[in-house]
Amino acid sequence: MASNRTFTMVKPDAFGEGNCGAITKMIEEAGFRIVAAKVTKLSAERAGQFYEVHKERPFYNDLCNYMSSGAIMAMILEKDNAVADFRKLIGATNPADAEEGTIRKLYAKSIEANAIHGSDSDENAAIEGSFFFSKTEEF
């Protein structure tokens, strides 16, 4: 059964340009409930830990530098079928390929500075959520 939680980060490009509120509004209007939220700044080392799965990729160092270049907002979100529905809402990794109306189509700058992250599986949603939040309170 699909998990009802996913993890997201509004990335430094979108956060720095003041698009965090508009993006969060789209997320809530799409039916996601915010379970946890935190504004923070990653060091390059910590960004590297988060994206360790990509460490052999040619873009890894640039990605770590970019992800530590400014504040981000991390969130855990809840909705039925959260992981798949959220990836649909944010659109393709490369904004050039993202569908009209998706968050990346509207706000991403490039394949690297692509506005927002969304977990790609239930397992990674749990791992990534616990990277930022030690415990989520129930409301």
Query: Is position 117 an interface residue for ligand CMP (rule: CB under 6 A)?
Result: yes
Given the rule CB under 6 A, which of 38-46, 76-84, 107-115, 127-135 is the region that contacts ligand CMP?
107-115
In whole angstroms, give the CA distance from residue 135 to residue 114: 28
| Full DSSP string of 66-128 | HHTSS-EEEEEEE-TTHHHHHHHHH--SSGGGPPTTSHHHHH--SSSS-SEEE-SSHHHHHHH
Query: Is position 111 an interface residue for ligand CMP (rule: CB under 6 A)?
Result: yes
Task: In angstroms, give the least distance from the CB of 138 to ligand CMP.
Answer: 27
Contact 91, 26 (CB under 8 A): no
Cα 129 to the chain's mean position, in Å? Answer: 10
Residue 139: helix, strand or coil by DSSP? coil
Q: Which residue has the tokens 């490369």?
A: 94
Contact 9, 73 (CB under 8 A): yes
Is 54 marked active-site?
no
Given the rule CB under 6 A, which of 32-40, 76-84, 106-114, 131-139 is the region that contacts ligand CMP?
106-114
Residues between 54 and 73 that touch ligand CMP (CB under 6 A): 54, 59, 63
Q: Which of 78, 85, 112, 122 binds ligand CMP (CB under 6 A)?
A: 112
Residues between 17 and 56 that touch ligand CMP (CB under 6 A): 54
Given the rule CB under 6 A, which of 16-24, 31-39, 108-116, 124-132 is the region that contacts ligand CMP?
108-116
Instruction: Using CB under 6 A, list all residues that contact ligand CMP.
Output: 54, 59, 63, 93, 111-112, 114, 117
Report the catalytic residues: 117
